[in-house]
Amino acid sequence: MTPLQRSRVGATAFFTVNGIALFAIMPRLAQIQADLGLDDAGLGVVLAVGTVGGLLVGPLAAPLIHRWGAVPVASAAGLLSLPPLVVLGWAGTPIVFALALGLVLAADAVMDSAMNTRALEVEVVYGRSIINGFHAWWSLGTIIGAALGSLSILIGLALGPFLLLLAIVSGAVLAVVWSMGAGAVPEGEQERNASDRGDAADMSRRQAFVTMMASGGIVLALFIMGAILVEDVPARWGSIYLTSVSASPDTWILLAYVGLTTAMTIGRFTGDRLVDRFGEVRWIRGSMAAVVVVMGGALLVGGPLAFVLASIVSGFGVATLFPAAMRAASRLPGVSPAMGVALVTWFSRIGFVISPLVVGFIASAAGIGWGIALVVFAAAAIIPLSAVLRSRVAR
């Protein structure tokens, strides 16, 4: 295996382990809620408090990457996320759970930026689009993680021992990737990265933020927030919508969620070929136009089957958006790739916080259908906003 191939395998390992670890507790949220004695509102508050860790620590990722490099930072952040992940399995109070979750998501925010920076370093050397493939492995990791969490319930494995076992295996993988350096990129790419780190050393985070916003970052931030709405709303609110339009929603809810996540995974595994074949901007505009038509039509029809089909189209259509935003962020003039990726990742986390608040407000005021309709408006907005991606595939 060549050093470049090891680089690609190592970056793939980062994405896969990250997806598995983050989503392994999802099937057990109901059990966690019961164990902590929380109602729905209380669980929502605990989860929201946990997200603060990522928002606070996320901007620190770029200086760490500039100082140590993407591979050591991604490895160390992944390893640091594992002890608090284990604590989640034995948390006896909501406060302990929220604090542990905050530490997990803080480390995840740094790992997210570092592994995307590494993936884009490797992509530059390949000279063609491969970033969607890395995100495909993350999506597959989330499916594996959720499946493992469900399996642990079926076999009666307590949450604490399950997360401890998961942490041991994940830690071993990360340690191996770190020890092998995930493969060295060619010398020319190392020199370019070193130059980027040197240029960034004298730039404060505030200066980088201002420079990024002035060089297209505002449009890119709007783009990523629109992408979050298209991805997050059907997954998070689909069950509520289907309950309102179906007398027996459980099967439809399962079909919609599995359809969306599977379509997104397939869309990412095929995304690099589609981007190379049609062009990134053209593909994104076409896929978002399809989301506008199909999701808008499903809401007008109002039936569960129509919404399931629309969720599948949305999952496939949104698959390449986040990787495209990461690539564009790493090419913004005036800031280093790591700084651009870290700031856009931070905006995406803000989007995941804002999205449920906006949808909830609209749903309360006008009905869940209008809340879901945000997907249509966001997809329509992405069509012109995708112009920010032009001429950013190669550096």
pLDDT at 194 over 60: no
Tabulate helix, strand, coil % of the chain (nearest 5). Answer: 85, 0, 15
Q: Which of 114, 256, 130 is nearest to 193 (CA)?
A: 114
Write down the pLDDT at residue 189: 46
Give per-residue pLDDT as tens, 158-168: 999 999 999 99
Give me the sign of the Cα torsion angle 77, 79, 81, 83.
Answer: negative
Q: Which amino acid is at 324?
A: A
Is residue 46 helix, strand or coil? helix
If one compares 365 and 13, the residue with the highest pLDDT of the two is 13
DSSP state of 27: G
Measure the CA–CA gap between 375 and 358, rounded to whole angstroms.
Answer: 12
Write down the pLDDT at residue 217: 74
DSSP output for 120-145: HHHHHHHTS--HHHHHHHHHHHHHHH
Give per-residue pLDDT as tens, 213-272: 555 678 888 999 999 999 888 887 888 888 888 877 888 888 888 899 999 999 999 999
If one compares 221 and 103, the residue with the highest pLDDT of the two is 103
Write down the pLDDT at residue 84: 96
pLDDT at 188 over 50: no
Of 201-215, 279-293, 323-337, the one with minimum mean pLDDT is 201-215
Measure the CA–CA gap between 311 and 320, rounded to whole angstroms.
Answer: 16
Of 182-186, 264-268, 319-323, the one with minimum mean pLDDT is 182-186
Write down the pLDDT at residue 102: 92
- What count of residues does the chain have? 395
Whole-structure pTM value: 0.86
If one compares 204 and 306, the residue with the highest pLDDT of the two is 306
Is residue 113 helix, strand or coil? helix
What percentage of the chain has pLDDT greater than the value 70? 89
Based on the number of CB atoms within 10 Å of its own CB, is 124 exposed (0-12), middle (13-18) or buried (19 or more)? buried
pLDDT at 95 over 90: yes
Q: Please state, rounded to an integer, the average pLDDT across all residues of the chain.
A: 86
If one compares 249 and 15, the residue with the highest pLDDT of the two is 15
DSSP state of 184: P
Q: Which of 117, 339, 328, 348 is nearest to 208 (CA)?
A: 339
Write down the pLDDT at residue 50: 81
Measure the CA–CA gap between 51 and 78, rounded to whole angstroms.
Answer: 17
Report residue 88's pLDDT band, with 50, 70 and 90 as the boundaries.
very high
Of 46-60, 88-102, 140-154, 207-221, the one with minimum mean pLDDT is 207-221
332 phi, psi to nearest 5 deg: -65, 130
Of 300-314, 322-336, 368-382, the one with minimum mean pLDDT is 322-336
pLDDT at 298 over 90: yes
Q: Which three-class secondary structure string do you get for 281-343? A: HHHHHHHHHHHHHHHHHHHHHCCHHHHHHHHHHHHHHHCCHHHHHHHHHHCCCCCCHHHHHHH
Write down the pLDDT at residue 202: 46
Give per-residue pLDDT as tens, 138-160: 999 999 998 999 899 889 999 99
Does domain 3-201 fall into CATH 1.10.10.10? no
pLDDT at 40 over 80: no
Q: How far is CA 3 from the centre of its chain?
A: 27
Write down the pLDDT at residue 393: 40
Report residue 201's pLDDT band, with 50, 70 and 90 as the boundaries.
very low
Q: CA geometry: angle at 350 spanning 393 and 346, to 5°?
A: 45
* Domain 205-389: CATH class, spelled out: mainly alpha
Q: Which positions ≥6 away from 98 have C-beta within 8 Å?
A: 46, 49, 50
With contact defined as beta carbons under 8 Å apart, do 376 and 368 qualify?
no
With contact defined as beta carbons under 8 Å apart, do 145 and 20 qualify?
yes
pLDDT at 29 over 90: no
With contact defined as beta carbons under 8 Å apart, do 388 and 223 qualify?
yes
pLDDT at 319 over 90: yes
If one compares 342 and 211, the residue with the highest pLDDT of the two is 342
DSSP state of 25: T
Report residue 56's pLDDT band, with 50, 70 and 90 as the boundaries.
confident
Report residue 204's pLDDT band, with 50, 70 and 90 as the boundaries.
low
Best-predicted range by mean pLDDT (64-68, 77-81, 325-329, 363-367)? 77-81
The token pair that represents 118 in the structure block: 């590494």
**Residues forming CATH 1.20.1250.20 domain(s) in the chain:** 3-201, 205-389
In whole angstroms, how large is the CA radius of gyration of the chain? 20
Give per-residue pLDDT as tens, 57-83: 888 888 898 888 899 999 999 999 999
Write down the pLDDT at residue 392: 45
With contact defined as beta carbons under 8 Å apart, do 237 and 372 qualify?
yes
